[in-house]
Amino acid sequence: MLSAKLGGKFDKYITKLLPKNVSPNTYTLLGLIVTIIASLFLAFGYFILGGLFIFLAGFFDMADGAIARTTGRVSEFGGFLDSVIDRYADLLFFFALCFHYYHVRNVFLFLCTLFTIAGSILTSYVRARAEVFLNQKCNVGIIERPERILFLGVGGLFDLFNYIIPILAILSNLTVFQRIYYVWKKTEALRQVRE
């Protein structure tokens, strides 16, 4: 997964492009504004512009963490706010696509987008519940938010949503089941130890 492989490797490059005296939370909120703009483009079928703004929103999503780490301003609230804004961003992107496919009467892609929404929400929810329940990280699964953003950006820029959305619908929900299976294996191992 991209988040595990890349981590903070681009921090030094990102921080060269942006003023460091701006609060990381400000970049988080700027990312939300860009997300809203991207979603409006998607909703009305301007996919290339939507794709560009999706990548710009993704840049700000990386920027808040990069600025926080390089300036020593990492905070629990900042991490919490970033996570909440990420969920809003996911929903905005996919609801915008639902709106578009509803109005152009593309039932297949409308339904695929709904399944993608379910998968993206449950991917985050299952991880949160698993980490509380197991008291350890639950990063397993084929696709997380960075991959979804990459898929969406590419889909918009190259007008590939006809292919990207069904793929996301499958992979997002597959990730949910991978995490459920992971938790089941862990709980079974714990049960056997207790016995």
Give me the count of residues in the chain: 195
The enclosing domain of 152 has a CATH number of: 1.20.120.1760
Residues of the chain above pLDDT 90, percent: 78
Residue 64 neighbours by CB under 8 Å, 6+ apart = 24, 25, 27, 28, 31, 78, 82
86 catalytic, yes or no?
yes
Give the whole-angstrom CA distance, residue 157 versus residue 144: 20
pLDDT in tens, 107-127: 999 999 999 999 999 999 999
Q: pTM of the predicted model, to two decimals?
A: 0.91
Catalytic residue among 61, 64, 82, 86: 86
Task: Say how far apart CA 63 and CA 23 lie, in whole Å.
Answer: 10
- Give residue 18's pLDDT band: very low, low, confident or very high (50, 70, 90): confident
Number of alpha carbons in the 13 Å side-chain half-sphere of residue 168: 34
Question: Which residues span the domain enclosing 31?
Answer: 2-194
pLDDT band at 5 (very low <50, low <70, confident <90, very high): low
Place 10 in a pLDDT band, splitting at 50, 70 and 90.
Answer: confident
C-alpha span between 73 and 185 (Å, rounded): 37
**What local confidence, expressed as pLDDT, does residue 6 receive?**
57
Q: What's the structural domain count of the chain?
A: 1
